[in-house]
Amino acid sequence: MEKLRLIQNDCEKIQEMSGSCKPQTKVCRICLEDDGKNLISPCSCRGHSKYVHNECLKIWISIRFPKIEGSFCEVCKKYFALDIKRRVTCGKNIENNEEFSNYLKVLFVSASMITFAILALCFMFKKLKGREINEDSKLSIIIFSISMIFSIIVFLRCLQKLFLVTKIDFKIMLGMEVMSLMKTEVENLK
């Protein structure tokens, strides 16, 4: 690791001096291999420090930081881009309670928005009963309908995400159960 950083620093110095040292090939800044697969550019670093393997970064983050959230590049001090975080945490998302509670929050807000919109619509129709519907009331009905549709979409999306998480959770639990059952079966056979 130390050696690697030295190489990186050297290159950065050369870059600074020459001014135009553009990399010919994409090279992972951690393992220095140039296979283009899964090479990502997670921070603001340029030149030879620009690319890194998804897997290499994951290992590096696990060494340097307690959590993937809040991990940053020590050269440019930028937080690693969110999509990398997601990819890195792939499979661990169930443990990510923060995301879960965020969805719950949005779910609660959208649910209350829907309730409010329904109540407002009911009130409006009650008020309009027996009266003629003018342009103003038409406009407010349209606005409320749009906001209600929007809230319902957010609500459904949240529900979907929440259920997706529980689905994966369930699958993993089931998988672990099957594995332990198989293990005991094998042990019994011995």
Our CB check for Zn ion shows the closer of 48 and 148 to be 48
Residue with tokens 């549709």: 149
Q: Give the nearer residue to Zn ion in terms of CB position, either 13 or 183.
A: 13
Shortest reach from residue 54's CB to Zn ion, in Å: 9
From the CB of 67, what's the least distance to Zn ion, in Å? 19
Contacts of 87 (CB under 8 A, 6+ apart): 54
**Of 14 and 142, CB closest to Zn ion:** 14
Mention every residue, 6+ apart, whose C-beta is less than 8 A from residue 184. none
Q: Min. distance of Cβ 55 from Zn ion in angstroms?
A: 7
Q: Cα–Cα distance between 183 and 141 in angstroms, integer? A: 62
Collapsed DSSP state (helix, strand, coil) of residue 44: coil
Nearer to Zn ion, 43 or 107 (CB): 43
Binding site for Zn ion (CB under 5 A): 28, 30-31, 43, 45, 53, 56, 73, 75-76
- Minimal distance in Å, beta carbon 78 to Zn ion? 6
